[in-house]
Amino acid sequence: MTETSAPARPRFPLPPRAARLFVLTAVFICAACGLVYELALVAIGSYLLGDTITQASVVLSVMVFAMGVGSLLSKRLQAHPALSFAVIEGLLSLVGGLSVLLLYGAFAWFSAYQPALVLLSFLIGVLIGVEIPLLMTLIQKIRRQDASEAVADLFAADYVGGLIGGLAFPFLLLPLLGLPKGALMVGALNAVVGVAVVLWLFRQELSRRAHLGLGLGLALVVGFLALAYAYAEQFEMDARQALYRDPIVHAERSEYQEIVVTRSFDGKDVRLFLNGALQFSTLDEYRYHEALVHPVMSGTHEDVLILGGGDGLAVREILRYDDVDSVTVVDLDPAVVELATTDPVISDLNEDSFQDPRVEVINTDAFQWLRENREDFDVVIADLPDGMDVGTSKLYTAEFYSLLDQGLDEQGRVVVQAGSPFFAPDAFWSVGHSLEETGLAATPYNVDVPTFGNWGFYLAAEGSAPELWLSEDTPELRFLDDSLLAAAQVFPVDRREEEGVEESTLMHPRIIDYHRGEWRGY
């Protein structure tokens, strides 16, 4: 009888233990790259749409489902695991690396962001799902071991790689390279590691044609990603310009948001946008800021607190009162304040308000600052972004207004910009309920600002609802007077409060749903 010999083990350029460590290192790096792709998809969604929870939910759910699909598809590729893994990594690096630019282009030129997000999440998920079973096969080719041990080794390297990728994304890639270039750089690393491990370690399993094809494919993928990297800034500029009517004269991405300034061809209309949302136009900003500031300044106003207002325009109106002793501005983003201080058009518009010695600027989160505040103010002005997402909705909650109330002097008054009573009436009336939940009595009013549309505010104080009036020391105004303030308290029948509108809280941020439901279609 002849004995049946065991299949010959493949020969590798390294001892089995070292070769296995080499593959596990590749698993570690590829896992880090895969998590970066995932985080990049979530981040670009939060930048463009400001809706982190929804974007994260879509990306995670679609990718997990797609990874299951990819795992099933990997069965068809097990006959040639090394070659299949190299091809999959090349495709993954190309799709993942280009994902941010593709999504930005879909948003700017085709208004097809959501379908593009789902498609890219699915493709990346499928490719990641395929690579895991293939890696398992490659590890067992190097060193035969129990399946449980191989799974443990593979998942350990995968999870640690995910940790490193998750930490590198916010602390290294975004600060140093930004979102588009960071994704492209990670894509190139993914391609080099994924394909190189096959070209070197498993080269004896490849035919000459396959070896040359993988080498050429790697060169093409890295070259294409490098070309995209070189033109990433120009692509971003072109896509960004497609979103705005007028030419962009300033654009930057701060730690917190995208800041864009546009100027019309005749130079008369300069606009500031934060994450695509209009903050002011030089044509009519005085209407908004006069309505925001002067009614609340009709009482005692020696010490004033502004929450938001980093453009300095509310500060400008406050400093028109000679008896103001101090103005404290709490704005999250120092880049906005820097722009308002250094840009000649904006600094001229705000009359260099931040240079006044009575003004102190604190760059921090308004909610956290109020929690730690021990000062009392005569006037508090909440000039904050609408509560359309998780990050801003907390600034329109009963808890926030309770903290704000603690910083009010006994006779102090507060004004809150509350969005549009026309476009989002339930969101507007919810702000009033949130104020009243804390014990503040609020008076709603609304004015027309052409570039915004109909816009609303609440004047609030402890005790009875404050009256709207302008004091004798109110400076000369271009827009507001007592007769307009009287009319501002009248709301049309179809925009008056309806039953069922509730306050917004940290645990129940209803204002998000009100905004989402009501702004849809405008």
First to last CA, the chain: 84
Tell me if residue 342 falls in helix, strand or coil. helix
Residues 271-292: pLDDT tens digits?
999 988 999 999 999 999 999 9
Q: Is the pLDDT of residue 8 over 60?
A: no
**What does pLDDT average to over the chain?**
92
Instruction: Name the residue among 247, 241, 252, 288 with its Cα closest to residue 270.
Output: 247
For residues 295 and 480, what is the distance between their CA atoms, to the nearest angstrom? Answer: 9
| SS3 readout for 253-306 | ECCCCEEEEEECCCCCCEEEEECCEEEEECCCHHHHHHHHHCCHHHCCCCEEEE
Provide the residue type at 122 as one letter.
F
Share of the chain above pLDDT 70, in %: 96
Paired residues of 253 in beta bridges = 258
**Where is average pLDDT lowest: 67-71, 135-139, 168-172?**
135-139
For residue 98, the model assigns a pLDDT of: 97
Q: Is the pLDDT of residue 190 over 50?
A: yes
Tell me if residue 379 falls in helix, strand or coil. strand
Residue at token pair 């052409």: 450
For residue 9, the model assigns a pLDDT of: 55
Paired residues of 306 in beta bridges = 329, 381
For residue 323, name the pLDDT band (cuts at 50, 70, 90).
Answer: very high
Provide the residue type at 482 as one letter.
D
34 touches 128 (CB < 8 A)? yes
Q: Is the pLDDT of residue 208 over 50?
A: yes
Burial class (CB in 10 A: 0-12, 13-18, 19+), 422: buried
Provide the residue type at 59 as one letter.
V
For residues 79 and 76, what is the distance between their CA atoms, to the nearest angstrom? Answer: 7
For residue 145, the model assigns a pLDDT of: 64
For residue 278, the model assigns a pLDDT of: 94
Instruction: Name the residue among 47, 200, 40 with its Cα closest to residue 124.
Output: 40
Residues 25-70: pLDDT tens digits?
999 999 999 999 999 999 888 778 776 778 889 999 999 999 999 9
For residue 19, the model assigns a pLDDT of: 79
Stretch 218-247: mean pLDDT, rounded?
Answer: 94
Residues 438-448: pLDDT tens digits?
999 999 999 99
266 touches 280 (CB < 8 A)? no
Residue at token pair 């004047």: 459
Selected catalytic residue, list 343, 383, 405, 426? 383
Task: Please confirm, yes or no, whether 284 is among the known catalytic residues.
Answer: no
The number of angstroms, rounded, from the C-alpha of 57 to the middle of its chain's C-alpha atoms is: 14
- Packed helices 52-73 and 16-49: angle between N→C axes, nearest 10 degrees: 140
More confident residue, 51 or 300: 300
Stretch 220-227: mean pLDDT, rounded?
Answer: 97
Tell me if residue 383 falls in helix, strand or coil. strand
Burial class (CB in 10 A: 0-12, 13-18, 19+), 259: buried
For residue 1, name the pLDDT band (cuts at 50, 70, 90).
Answer: very low
Paired residues of 316 in beta bridges = none
Burial class (CB in 10 A: 0-12, 13-18, 19+), 39: buried
Provide the residue type at 308 as one letter.
G
For residue 90, the model assigns a pLDDT of: 95
For residue 12, name the pLDDT band (cuts at 50, 70, 90).
Answer: low
Residues 478-508: pLDDT tens digits?
999 999 999 999 999 999 998 999 999 999 9
Name the strands in the sheet holding 326-330, side by side, starting at the edge strand that comes first in the sequence: 359-362, 326-330, 303-308, 377-383, 408-417, 453-462, 440-449
Instruction: Name the residue among 453, 449, 451 with its Cα closest to residue 479.
Output: 449
Kindly give the pairing relationship between strand 377-383 and strand 359-362.
unpaired
> Angle 257-313-256 (CA atoms, 0-180°, nearest 5)?
10
The torsion defined by the Cα of 21, 27, 28 and 29, in degrees rounded to 10, comes to 110
For residues 8 and 6, what is the distance between their CA atoms, to the nearest angstrom? Answer: 6
For residue 10, the model assigns a pLDDT of: 59
Stretch 71-83: mean pLDDT, rounded?
Answer: 92
Label residue 280 left, alpha or beta by phi (over 0 means left) and psi (-120 to 50 means alpha). Answer: beta
For residues 140 and 148, what is the distance between their CA atoms, to the nearest angstrom? Answer: 11
